[in-house]
Amino acid sequence: MKVVLILIQENIMIMNEKDILKFIQERDCVTFVEILNNFEEANGEYDWSIGDSDIKIYFYGGLSLKFMDILKKLLDEKKIWMDSTTVLTYVLDGGGLRLEPWTPKKKKGSFWLPMAFRPYNTIDEKYKKQWDKRIKNMIDIKIEDEI
């Protein structure tokens, strides 16, 4: 009598730069939640934020260092860019942060700026220079405890 063992694995992908890029290119507007749900290794204990002592803007939390390094590299190499999105986008994806969304009028406190990743070739030409200036500050990832 033969025994056949069948292993059923969830649809979780191995995380590497190539697969993250392919995932973003295939889906276009990809939230942190979508990536965290599809790449187990992207989950961690770190937050990605920018700011100073007056204002801190969080992009997302619960991220691994490996995932943050991959994003930093893809952003720096202009393979992807980040576009602001709505809180509703995150709600529909099943996630979000328990922080008030940031608006330019808010100058003090901690806020969340919902972002989506997009292939770099989707950026409108008139925004490319503006984006390229902003990204230099954004890829200086600050590692902090989970919010």
pTM of the predicted protein model: 0.78
Q: What is the DSSP string of 64-119?
A: -HHHHHHHHHHHHTTSEEEEE--HHHHHHHT---SSPBP-TT--SEEEE--EEEEE
Question: According to the model, what pLDDT value does residue 25 have?
Answer: 96
Q: Is the pLDDT of residue 90 over 70?
A: yes
Question: According to the model, what pLDDT value does residue 135 have?
Answer: 57
| Each residue's pLDDT tens digit, 104-130 | 888 899 999 999 999 998 887 777 676
| Each residue's pLDDT tens digit, 129-145 | 766 666 555 545 444 54
| Each residue's pLDDT tens digit, 35-66 | 999 999 999 999 999 888 899 999 999 999 99
